[in-house]
Chain A
Amino acid sequence: MSQTLVTVDGVPLKVSLARAQRRGKLKAIGLVVPLFLFILVTFFVPILDMLFRSVENQLVGEVMHRTVPLLNNWDEQSGELPSEEVFAALAEDFIEANETKLGGRVGRRLNYEKPGFSGLFRKTTRKAGSLEAPYQQSFIDINQKWGDVENWKIFKRESAPYTISYYLAAVDLGYGETGEIVRNKDDRRIYLKLFWRTVWMSSLITVICLFLAYPIAYLLSALPTRKSNLLIILVLLPFWTSLLVRTTAWIALLQQEGVINDLIVWLGFVADDNRLSMIHNRTGTIIAMVHILLPFMVLPLYSVMKTIPPSYMKAAKSLGATPFTAFVRIYMPNTVAGIGAGAILVFILSIGYYITPALVGGQSGTLISNFIAFHMSSSLNWGLAAALGAILLAIVLILYFLYDRIVGIDNMKLG
């Protein structure tokens, strides 16, 4: 072993070095802290909150705090209703819920599992004052759904503080008769189809972007700087107009009475009564999104291509390769970093894209994010929205991981 090195005044070298570097480190931390806090508050905390909401289920247990502990003793497989004691506790909970106005919310929560709970809870809360012993009969008098064991099973299942039922719903699964997990009926399977549609449409958009952007980026990188700067501005031009304006411009162009249809009818390619429908469907979403996301493909490609010395191609040709071979064997492999960066950027952006599909997607062109938004703002089923979002996040992370394994994140060049 070597002995520890010391400075002239006897302090170990490592200690002395650490001391000298501390100031530099503090300064670096000081520079990073504001952005770090900002990202923490506006990005990580909301994501964690979303992940939490997708499994959180405190409401039922809190509002029905007398009934829920007693339900643990009830054997739901017995086929009998819970005991009178449980109904008595339920009555007390409803009387309290009538005052706190929380009964409706519990009903809405249970309604996700089986339609009808919302009405049941609203009605029962309203009539809580008239409940009296024997409570079981009194409840059944208000609504005979209280006499159905199936309903009690759902109540018990969804009274746990955490639930996976949002995730089940998000992948078109549910609970069967005996509490086992089964696929939903055909007409209620929507989310898997939507996820699949989102993934393949995003892939298609990415591929189209790549094919459109590659030649442009190649041209840009080959031009002298003054000209290429001008063209880069043209590439970036779409960023200067609002997303909404651009999307509505596509509506004006693509609709049945729009410019493009008028043109091809006038040219005689299609009959006037047979105009193409290019908007408010899948085609519309793809066209508009390719247009919007194209710069995100062009820029990484351009920045990579610009760093490829022209001498590579010349060298390949001087070694006897035809221009085509030189391009495929030498030029393209050197742009992989740009292709990867652009593709992952466009794919991740489009997999979560919302406004454009909402405006021009119609029925067949909406994506999963439109449903997330719907559950956030219209149906107010935040748990399901969170579960859908979490699955989307997982898909992106898996793709990112695959990309890292295949291409390597270190090779990615964003600009």
Chain B
Amino acid sequence: MSNAKPLVRFVDIQKSYDGEILVVKNLNLDVAEGEFLTMLGPSGSGKTTCLMMLAGFEPATHGEIYLKDQSINNVAPHKRGIGMVFQNYALFPHMTVAENLAFPLEVRKMDKSEREQRVKRALDMVQLGPFGDRRPSQLSGGQQQRVAVARSLVFDPDLVLMDEPLGALDKNLREQMQYEIKHIHENLGLTVVYVTHDQSEALTMSNRIAVFDDGIIQQCAPPEVLYEQPANAFCANFIGENNRLFGKVIEDFGDSVKVKIDQGGEVHAKKVNVGGVGERSTLSLRPERVVVAPEEGSLPNEFSAKAEELIYLGDHIRTRFTVCGHDDFIVKIPNSAAHASLQEGDTVKIGWNMEDCRALDPSD
């Protein structure tokens, strides 16, 4: 993906609404042609703002946005030819579904027969063929969502922006729509910039995810990289489940460090984003990478842990341990015969590999 030429480029973009607070701080981001890029981040992190700048509804305070190597800072929104799906769909309530879809074609002065043909094709694409004569209010949430997607695509834009398009749907429908949008993206070879604050949505749909926080992209990487190799404590915590231990570096081996945990215990961890000896660090460890009752001496990090709480989830058992003074240490234990005997209050040995424990910035 990354070797394709960029369709969209944000160069040194800054944005402030009130002249006091920078909502977007120095954004540099390339979106490759055909890519599905997701902006993921907590509420208020500036995702919508970035999308609005790209669509032309908000001017950038500083920097340039390029679309196909043309600066579009001074191009009016209706001339940008970017499709957009809004969170509340923004279907026009006084028009039927078919009229909604025909609207972008009408304003492009397309003739009637071609218009009807395109509308029909777009409706078929989202499996809403028979619904053309209905008003948006006569459709279910999922159907409205599909109309919104169809409308944003009917005039063949190269780039489609979607701002939390599935936010209002229930879980099942949301998952179904994720696949449909993904298929449309693949079939049409679109470039999609997608905004969500649902991390599982981001992980299933995207080629790349840009994690936003505080107006800065914390990391921009494919989903598996983001999950396996978070660049900093925020990403580690925001994507997936994550155990955190806080401590201070006491020894530096070049590609690994030894960290002394504040409440006691020393951990050998992979050096990722941490200063030298004496610096504070957050250690990040995925719950599924912790081994319960390892063979003595087989792992570099072994601690005794007290099981505080067990939650039976069928395929695995979620267990909360107290380790090194942290009582919120989660371990996912596979539901196999070997572990069936663990009881609340038991003390067992747990351990993990050096590579699985990442020494990151001290965060807060």
Number of residue pairs spanning A and B whose beta carbons lie under 8 angstroms apart: 64
Q: How far apart are the CA atoms of A204 and B55 in the complex, in Å?
A: 42
B103 at the interface (CB under 8 A from A): yes
Complex interface: stretch among A65-73, A106-114, A261-269, A307-315: A307-315
Partner of A322, one of B57, B78, B92, B103: B78
Partner of A318, one of B55, B92, B108: B55
The answer to whether B78 touches A323 (Cβ under 8 A) is yes
8 Å CB contacts to B: which residues of A288-327? 309, 311-312, 314-323, 325-326
Contact A318 to B77, CB < 8 A, known contacts A329-B103, A333-B94, A334-B94: yes
Chain B: CB-nearest residue to A319: B104
Contact A318 to B94, CB < 8 A, known contacts A309-B88, A329-B103: no
A330 at the interface (CB under 8 A from B): yes
The answer to whether A309 touches B90 (Cβ under 8 A) is yes
Summarize B's interface: helix, strand, loop or mixed.
Answer: loop
With a CB–CB cut-off of 8 A, which chain B residues contact A318? Answer: 55, 77-78, 80, 82-84, 152
With a CB–CB cut-off of 8 A, which chain B residues contact A314? Answer: 55, 57, 77, 84, 86, 90
With a CB–CB cut-off of 8 A, which chain A residues contact B240? Answer: none
With a CB–CB cut-off of 8 A, which chain B residues contact A311? Answer: 86-88, 90
Partner of A317, one of B78, B92, B93, B94: B78
B208 at the interface (CB under 8 A from A): no
The answer to whether A321 touches B78 (Cβ under 8 A) is yes
> Smallest CB–CB gap between B54 and chain A, Å?
11
With a CB–CB cut-off of 8 A, which chain A residues contact B340? Answer: none
With a CB–CB cut-off of 8 A, which chain A residues contact B82? Answer: 318
Chain A: CB-nearest residue to B79: A320
The answer to whether B104 touches A320 (Cβ under 8 A) is yes
> Smallest CB–CB gap between B223 and chain A, Å?
28
Q: How far apart are the CA atoms of A333 and B99 in the complex, in Å?
A: 14
The answer to whether A320 touches B78 (Cβ under 8 A) is yes
Q: How far apart are the CA atoms of A321 and B108 in the complex, in Å?
A: 8
With a CB–CB cut-off of 8 A, which chain A residues contact B87? Answer: 311
With a CB–CB cut-off of 8 A, which chain B residues contact A334? Answer: 92-94
Summarize A's interface: helix, strand, loop or mixed.
Answer: helix
Q: How many residues of B contact A (CB 8 A)?
A: 25
Contact with A along B328-362 (1 / 0, CB 8 A): 00000000000000000000000000000000000
Q: How far apart are the CA atoms of A226 and B30 in the complex, in Å?
A: 39
With a CB–CB cut-off of 8 A, which chain A residues contact B294? Answer: none
B212 at the interface (CB under 8 A from A): no
8 Å CB contacts to A: which residues of B5-24? none
Interface size class of chain A, counting residues whose CB lies under 8 Å from the partner chain: 20 to 34
8 Å CB contacts to B: which residues of A47-67? none
8 Å CB contacts to A: which residues of B93-109? 93-94, 103-104, 107-108
> Smallest CB–CB gap between B74 and chain A, Å?
15
Q: How far apart are the CA atoms of A336 and B81 in the complex, in Å?
A: 30
The answer to whether A315 touches B90 (Cβ under 8 A) is yes
B280 at the interface (CB under 8 A from A): no
With a CB–CB cut-off of 8 A, which chain B residues contact A319? Answer: 78, 83, 103-104, 107, 151-152, 155
> Smallest CB–CB gap between B86 and chain A, Å?
5
Partner of A315, one of B56, B81, B86: B86
Chain B: CB-nearest residue to A318: B84
Chain A: CB-nearest residue to B94: A333
Q: How far apart are the CA atoms of A315 and B90 in the complex, in Å?
A: 6
> Smallest CB–CB gap between B156 and chain A, Å?
11
> Smallest CB–CB gap between A406 and chain B, Å?
15
Contact A312 to B107, CB < 8 A, known contacts A320-B78, A323-B78: no
Q: How far apart are the CA atoms of A319 and B89 in the complex, in Å?
A: 13
Chain A: CB-nearest residue to B57: A314
Q: How far apart are the CA atoms of A42 and B87 in the complex, in Å?
A: 50
Q: How far apart are the CA atoms of A336 and B55 in the complex, in Å?
A: 29
8 Å CB contacts to B: which residues of A107-159? none
Q: How far apart are the CA atoms of A318 and B57 in the complex, in Å?
A: 9
> Smallest CB–CB gap between A253 and chain B, Å?
41
Q: How far apart are the CA atoms of A391 and B104 in the complex, in Å?
A: 49
8 Å CB contacts to B: which residues of A371-408? none
With a CB–CB cut-off of 8 A, which chain A residues contact B152? Answer: 318-319
With a CB–CB cut-off of 8 A, which chain B residues contact A312? Answer: 90, 92
With a CB–CB cut-off of 8 A, which chain A residues contact B84? Answer: 314-315, 318
With a CB–CB cut-off of 8 A, which chain A residues contact B155? Answer: 319-320
Q: How far apart are the CA atoms of A312 and B88 in the complex, in Å?
A: 10
> Smallest CB–CB gap between A42 and chain B, Å?
39
**Across the A-B interface, the 7 shortest Cβ-Cβ residue pairs:** A319-B104, A315-B90, A311-B90, A318-B84, A317-B77, A333-B94, A317-B78
A-B residue pairs in contact (CB < 8 Å), sample of 13: A309-B88, A309-B90, A314-B57, A314-B84, A314-B90, A315-B92, A316-B103, A317-B77, A318-B83, A320-B78, A321-B78, A322-B78, A334-B92
Given known contacts A317-B57, A319-B155, what 6 new A-B pairs fall within 8 Å (CB)? A309-B88, A311-B87, A314-B90, A315-B92, A317-B78, A334-B92
A residues contacting B by CB (< 8 A) are: 309, 311-312, 314-323, 325-326, 329-330, 333-334, 336
B residues contacting A by CB (< 8 A) are: 55-57, 76-78, 80-84, 86-88, 90, 92-94, 103-104, 107-108, 151-152, 155
